[in-house]
């Protein structure tokens, strides 16, 4: 802070430029100009301003204009005035910070590849804007005023009702409007749920290894909870590892393991539930992409088998758009109240307009219509990816292909994952490895291909580039 100069003589003039055609009152123009100079540091703390009469003469305005401007700035604390003496810049009026905030944290920050197989790049071009707008219009036209007020922590009853019907029908869940809470996407669901478990004394969270534990891990860290990994085999989490597992919660992707794509067998599902019943631990079922399946019958959610042991979390990020932040969680009844209280405490509930719009969209069948339209598109893209891999990279072994919006291709032993990814980047292809999702090292490398946001020719081009990159060697 500049040294105080309260006792110095006043600055002689301020050279304020007034725009008499501006429409803005003159006293306001004077006020704005002085405020900006104080902020920029041009008028440092402690300095004395010209007497009102002098400044009025300089600016050719009436003295009242300057008096009014000074008075306002005194009221705001920029200036201090001790009756009779000069008006000074307040000693506490600090200089404006340079606009040098750090760059924004974003979820993914890649360069600009030519073909980007990154996952999470939903097919945003397919978002059904017209149908969504129709739902918004209906909601804004028909919703009673009082529904725009403070919210139920569980979310809008219309959306909870529509979701329960949808999930029970399509995902085999056992949900009612009373056991669903609406969240801002999956991220908030896992954040609040771990908070509730920690408050109950929960100390350990188990996650699949590999898994997308970037949602859960920093939250667990912040809550002082330990994160342990449970190994994943070809069919999802390896239930033989549950025997010795001491955890308060187990986060699973049973219908399509992320990232390896395995599907938990009926016997393994029963084992998971038996473990949960034996230990009292909660299972968090992350059903992140179950809407898309291609070559197999739908597998119902584990939650339907054990609704008092399993919390089921879903999201519209993969089906509509991540930016909508629409998520939901079906909870064991005993957890509904503490979870809804945690939601209220965190943000007083999710925005009502989005909730009511999605409820309308669901209950009019628009969501089903959208999914029916997208499934053949994604299936074709997957088929194009598989065909290109078979043609150009037959040494890779695709897995987890029957569902979802991505697949893993395992690398042969002589190809190093990091080397392949770096070579691919040089050929303009962005593709992720499995390793970053692992908690413990594993022998085999693999690549994660998201295909939902790429057209078939882009997919073919990307795989050809990748093949060139691999052929070129390290």
Task: State yes or no: residue 127 binds a copy of itself (CB under 8 A).
Answer: yes
d(CA 249, CA 41): 55
Q: CB of 230 within 8 A of CB of 440?
A: no
Q: Which residue has the tokens 């399946």?
A: 293
Q: CB of 259 within 8 A of CB of 406?
A: yes
The span of 168-176, 245-253, 413-421, 427-435 binding a copy of itself (CB under 8 A) equals 168-176
As measured in angstroms, the least distance from the Cβ of 193 to a copy of itself is: 13
Residues 177-196 contacting a copy of itself, CB under 8 A: 178-179, 183-185, 187-188, 191, 195
User: How many C-beta atoms surround the C-beta of residue 468 within 10 A?
Assistant: 15
**CA triple 327-330-331, angle to 5 deg:** 130
Residues 349-388 contacting a copy of itself, CB under 8 A: 349-354
Of the residues 321, 371, 387, 425, which one makes contact with a copy of itself according to CB under 8 A: 321
Task: State yes or no: residue 473 binds a copy of itself (CB under 8 A).
Answer: no
**Strand ranges in 61-201 using DSSP code E only, listed in sequence order:** 79-81, 87-89, 115-116, 180-183
d(CA 395, CA 457): 22
Task: State yes or no: residue 147 binds a copy of itself (CB under 8 A).
Answer: yes
Q: What is the DSSP letter of 300?
A: P
Which one, 319 or 393, has the nearer CB to a copy of itself? 319
Q: Output the 3-class SS for 309-333.
A: CEEEEEECCCCCCHHHCCEEEECCH
As measured in angstroms, the least distance from the Cβ of 210 to a copy of itself is: 21
Distances (CA, A) of 329 to 83, 190, 267: 63, 9, 25
Which one, 57 or 353, has the nearer CB to a copy of itself? 353
Residues 212-251 contacting a copy of itself, CB under 8 A: 218-219, 222
Burial class of 295 by CB neighbour count within 10 A (0 to 12, 13 to 18, 19+): exposed
Which one, 245 or 273, has the nearer CB to a copy of itself? 273
Q: CB of 293 within 8 A of CB of 309?
A: no
Task: State yes or no: residue 99 binds a copy of itself (CB under 8 A).
Answer: yes
Which one, 25 or 418, has the nearer CB to a copy of itself? 25
Task: State yes or no: residue 428 binds a copy of itself (CB under 8 A).
Answer: no
Q: CB of 229 within 8 A of CB of 207?
A: yes
b/e code 137-163 from CB counts within 10 Å (16+ = b): eebeeebeeebeeebebbbbebbbbbb
Task: State yes or no: residue 146 binds a copy of itself (CB under 8 A).
Answer: yes
Which one, 8 or 92, has the nearer CB to a copy of itself? 92
Task: State yes or no: residue 39 binds a copy of itself (CB under 8 A).
Answer: yes
The span of 118-126, 368-376, 419-427, 428-436 binding a copy of itself (CB under 8 A) equals 118-126
Task: State yes or no: residue 129 binds a copy of itself (CB under 8 A).
Answer: yes
Which one, 154 or 406, has the nearer CB to a copy of itself? 154
Of the residues 77, 85, 376, 474, which one makes contact with a copy of itself according to CB under 8 A: 77
Residues 263-282 contacting a copy of itself, CB under 8 A: 266-267, 269-270, 273-274, 277
Task: State yes or no: residue 464 binds a copy of itself (CB under 8 A).
Answer: no
Task: State yes or no: residue 35 binds a copy of itself (CB under 8 A).
Answer: yes
Task: State yes or no: residue 109 binds a copy of itself (CB under 8 A).
Answer: no
Phi-psi region of 60 (alpha: psi -120 to 50; beta: other; left: phi over 0): left
Of the residues 49, 56, 93, 232, which one makes contact with a copy of itself according to CB under 8 A: 93
As measured in angstroms, the least distance from the Cβ of 314 to a copy of itself is: 15
The two tokens of residue 152 are 């139920």
Q: CB of 167 within 8 A of CB of 327?
A: no
Residues 299-318 contacting a copy of itself, CB under 8 A: 299-300, 302, 304-309
Of the residues 323, 376, 472, 474, which one makes contact with a copy of itself according to CB under 8 A: 323
């Amino acid at each position: 802070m500049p040294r105080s100069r309260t006792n110095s003589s006043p600055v002689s003039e301020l050279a304020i430029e007034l725009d008499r055609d501006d429409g803005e009152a003159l006293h306001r123009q004077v006020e704005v100009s002085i405020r900006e100079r104080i902020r920029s540091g041009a008028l440092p703390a402690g300095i004395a301003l010209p007497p009102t009469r002098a400044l009025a003469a300089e600016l050719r305005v009436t003295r009242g204009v300057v008096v009014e401007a000074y008075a306002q700035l005194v009221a705001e604390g920029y200036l201090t005035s001790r009756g009779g003496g000069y008006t000074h810049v307040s000693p506490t009026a600090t200089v404006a910070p340079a606009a040098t905030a750090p760059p924004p944290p974003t979820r993914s920050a890649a360069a600009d590849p030519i073909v980007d197989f990154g996952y999470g790049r939903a097919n945003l071009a397919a978002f059904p804007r017209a149908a969504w707008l129709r739902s918004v219009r209906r909601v804004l036209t028909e919703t009673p005023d009082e529904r725009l007020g403070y919210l139920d922590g569980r979310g809008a009853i219309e959306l909870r009702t529509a979701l329960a019907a949808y999930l029970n029908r399509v995902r085999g869940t056992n949900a009612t409007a009373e056991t669903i809470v609406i969240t801002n996407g999956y991220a908030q669901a896992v954040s609040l749920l771990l908070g509730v478990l920690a408050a109950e004394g929960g100390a350990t969270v188990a996650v699949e290894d590999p898994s997308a534990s970037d949602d859960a891990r920093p939250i667990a860290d912040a809550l002082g909870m330990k994160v342990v990994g449970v190994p994943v085999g070809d069919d999802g989490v390896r239930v033989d590892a549950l025997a010795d597992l001491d955890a308060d919660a187990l986060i699973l992707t049973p219908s399509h393991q992320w990232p390896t794509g395995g599907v938990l067998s009926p016997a393994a599902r029963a084992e998971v539930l038996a473990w949960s019943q034996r230990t009292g631990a909660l299972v968090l079922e992350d059903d992140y992409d179950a809407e898309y399946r291609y070559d197999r019958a739908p597998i119902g959610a584990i939650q339907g088998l054990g609704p008092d042991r399993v919390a089921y979390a879903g999201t519209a990020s993969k089906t509509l758009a991540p930016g909508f932040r629409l998520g939901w969680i079906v909870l064991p009844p005993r957890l509904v109240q503490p979870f809804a209280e945690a939601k209220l405490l965190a943000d007083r509930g999710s925005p009502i307009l989005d909730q009511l719009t999605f409820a309308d969209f669901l209950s009019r069948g628009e969501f089903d219509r959208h999914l029916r339209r997208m499934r053949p598109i994604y299936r074709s893209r997957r088929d194009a990816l598989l065909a290109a891999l078979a043609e150009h990279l037959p040494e890779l072994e695709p897995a987890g292909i029957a569902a979802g919006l991505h697949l893993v291709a395992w690398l042969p032993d002589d190809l190093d994952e990091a080397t392949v990814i770096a070579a691919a980047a040089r050929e303009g292809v962005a593709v992720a490895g499995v390793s970053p999702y692992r908690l413990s090292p594993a022998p085999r490398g693999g690549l994660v291909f998201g295909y939902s946001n790429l057209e078939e020719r882009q997919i073919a081009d990307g795989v050809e580039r990748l093949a060139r990159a691999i052929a070129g060697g390290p």
